[in-house]
Amino acid sequence: MYVLETRSLKKAYGAEGEVCVHALCGVNLQVRKGELLAIMGPSGSGKSTLLHILGGVETPSSGQVLLEGVDLATLNDDQRTIVRRERMGFIFQSFNLLRPLRQRRTCLCRWSLAACRRPKPASAPPIRSA
């Protein structure tokens, strides 16, 4: 099983027929556990769009994102939030740090929130769909 997979992923901004930008046109991607991946391309080629969709921040126009075999589209808002908090790490282009906190404290803050919610598991639990 791939740790991360996309199937025919498409994203269009704007209504078809009007000013419509096809940011992603059928991305198929398979990432195995332990693989290191770099997404490269010119400005406007869809790198951020792809990352936002992989992280469940944006939704695709069509296609699927599977994280450890679970289709992100089957998760509700709360479940996506938990996936982002416990399974993903994002460093945004614009950083988005909490204003009074710096990088290290921002990370600690996230982990503290996760630790408050439930006892620390021996290993990361599997993602469950709704």
Ligand X SMILES: Nc1ncnc2c1ncn2[C@@H]1O[C@H](COP(=O)(O)OP(=O)(O)OP(=O)(O)O)[C@@H](O)[C@H]1O
How many Cβ atoms are within 10 Å of 107's Cβ, its own excluded?
13
Measured from the CB atom, is 15 or 122 closer to ligand X? 15
Cβ atoms 93, 39 nearer than 8 A: no
Residue 57 touching Mg ion (CB under 5 A): no
Q: Two tokens at 80?
A: 């996506």
Binding positions for ligand X, rule: CB under 6 A = 13, 21, 23, 41, 43-49
Residue 48 touching Mg ion (CB under 5 A): yes
Measured from the CB atom, is 26 or 69 closer to ligand X? 26
Residue 106 touching Mg ion (CB under 5 A): no
Please compute, for residue 117, the number of CA atoms within 13 A of its CA located in the half-sphere on the CB side: 11
Q: Which residues pair with 27 in a beta bridge?
A: 9
What are the residues binding Mg ion (CB under 5 A)? 47-48
